[in-house]
A and B are shown apart, each in its own frame.
Chain A
Amino acid sequence: MISMKLIDVKHVWKIYNEGYENEVRALADVSLEIDRKEFVAIIGQSGSGKSTLMNILGCLDVPTYGDYHLDGHLVSEMSDAQLSKIRNREVGFIFQGFNLIPALTALENVELPLTYQGVFGSRRREMALEALEKVGLAERCNHKPSEMSGGQQQRVAIARAISTRAPIIMADEPTGALDSKTGKHVLEILHGLHDEGTTIILITHDNKIAATAERIVRISDGQIIQDCPREEAEL
């Protein structure tokens, strides 16, 4: 049966070092559906399995057991070429640790997904600059990551995630490494994208940030223990 939800996770397990003494059940029988244009916050204590889940949702990792349908397609059956296309065009991933390429300037980092998409020349530059403008960093485009503050680096990472105009943005504790003021700025950017119709999935351990989402998913010990609209969640 083809699922009509944007994201449809069914009975997914992620077990690290399965069968060894140091086996970790990071996800245990997780099922989750997310629709287009939702703004979902995933919360939970450190080590509860949030990143593990998000990596699977972003097609950066595969579940040990269970099925994940993205836009109706079973991810485990996709080829490397199909997967790279999804990572490139469908999902913009924002890491807690930025993950910029140090040798490249801000602009070049933002251009990279466009290059893999096959956008070249002035069009690529335009799109990258547009993304940088959205995060308010256009005038910093020729700086290398090492020449920028954490907040600026995270904004470059966001610009990179949105440069291909992906319909889904996934952000793993995007404000975790930032002070509260820059954190607030980053959150504003995400809300702006949501207003434009982008699906946002956000991991946070900050209740104030979670409180701005439409829906809260709480994870504990690799299991979803709460999944409800913000109004019903106790934060």
Chain B
Amino acid sequence: MNITQSFKMAIKSITDNKARSILTMLGIIIGVAAVIIMVSVVQGANQWSKEYYEKQGTNKVTVNAYPYNGKDITEDLYNYCLGLSEYVAGVTPNGSVYTDIKYKTKSTDNMEYGGPSTYLGSDQYSLCNNFTLAKGRDISQLDVKKENQVIVLGARVAEYLFGVSEPVGQKVTVGGVSFTVVGVYKAKDPDSDWSMDNMAVVPYTCGRLLGQNSASTNFTVKATGREEANKAVTMITGFLSGLIPTGTGDYWVQSENQWQEMDEQYTQQMSLVVGGIAGISLLVGGIGIMNIMLVTVTERTHEIGIRKAIGGSRRSIIMQFLIEAAVVCCCGGFIGVVIGYLGTVVAGKLTLDMLIFPSVGMTVGAVGFSVLLGIIFGMYPAIKASGLQPVEALRAD
């Protein structure tokens, strides 16, 4: 008997015993697909939140300060932070107004998902919030000082108001006040409906023109790293305690990294839980396979007895069973992977609105585990019975 014949015999056995083959495949398909989909979606969620924080800008420190006398501390804080260049990369007030921006007849009031926020920022607003210029120039220190009526548009706003024509140099009105567009930021969040790009920045010193009469109380400080963010919190807290002595106002300083850290912790726990569930589905699939194989072991032992009695050698019988198990399991594994990939893409789109693909390592692991299990249990009768005397195997009934 050669390999081709063993192969034919194995295929014949698979098609002759459809129920057995399909049930075995099903065990593998369910195990593999479930693991791939669940693990991928969690991995996708992890990636989504990581990307979200990266877009937002990492290592940010939020400063809130309310001196009771309404004193403007912006310049003091700005100058203090300049001196902390080892820890602090930038600082900006973070106030905003929500008024329409108009260009000719187009108004942001008519945007599908609502108009933009217009931030009252310093020259370091873009640095602090992870925006980069696509065109023109950014807000400058001079603009802030001179209260220049200039505006830098986020990509979503620029696209809405100007389409394909050139925004830089054009005049827009913000709440009826005229501003000159000096620059446009690159899109960093183009796919979502409530895009981070639906924004604009003007020098904070123009706040009064936009009806913002009180001084800025909310600031974002961009630290140079994770450790540095914690350091900056301590130092800025110390600075504020001098600037606003006890009883003359409130202030608090906190690192935004804590949200990210909480999120990371949460997704890590999610990964563990889902990993556990995935492991259980793999196991259940595996037990299903074992079950089918063990239930048919008597029947198969009898068949092996017949095959031996009419001249099947141990080698040819093991070969047949090996090929049979491998073919069934690999087909099951393949179908499981296909369903797993499709399921992952669909689940990713539905839950995260994101195109996710399962990792290769995890796929190989899930397929490897169930295929190995299937082959071991598929071969079990052959290993057990092919060494018996034919009559001993025939006695199995």
Contacts and interface: CB of A to CB of B under 8 A. Distances in A.
A84 B394 CA distance: 15
A61 B391 contact: yes
Main SS class of interface, B: helix
Contact of B391 (A60, A112, A160): A60
Interface stretch (B63-71, B218-226, B313-321, B360-368): B313-321
A84 B308 contact: yes
Interface in A161-216: 164
Given A62-B389, A115-B9, A87 B309 contact: yes
Interface residues of A, number: 29
A115 B1 contact: yes
A104 B12 CA distance: 9
A57 B17 CA distance: 34
A113 B390 CA distance: 15
B310 interface: yes
A50 interface: no
Nearest to A163: B310
B330 to A, nearest CB: 22
Interface string B158-191: 0000000000000000000000000000000000
Contacts of A101: 303, 306-307
B311 A84 contact: yes
Contacts of A116: 1, 307, 310-313, 316
A160 B310 contact: yes
Interface residues of B, number: 26
Interface string A76-102: 000011001101110001010001110
Contacts of A120: 5
B298 interface: no
B315 A87 contact: no
B327 to A, nearest CB: 16
Contacts of B313: 80-81, 84, 116
Given A103-B13, A118-B1, A112 B307 contact: yes
Nearest to A105: B16
Nearest to A103: B16
A146 interface: no
Contacts of B310: 87-88, 93, 112-113, 116, 160
Given A104-B16, A112-B307, A115-B9, A61 B390 contact: yes
B303 A80 contact: no
Interface of A: 55, 58, 60-62, 80-81, 84-85, 87-89, 93, 95, 99-101, 103-104, 108, 112-113, 115-118, 120, 160, 164
5 contacts: A60-B308, A87-B310, A95-B309, A100-B306, A104-B12
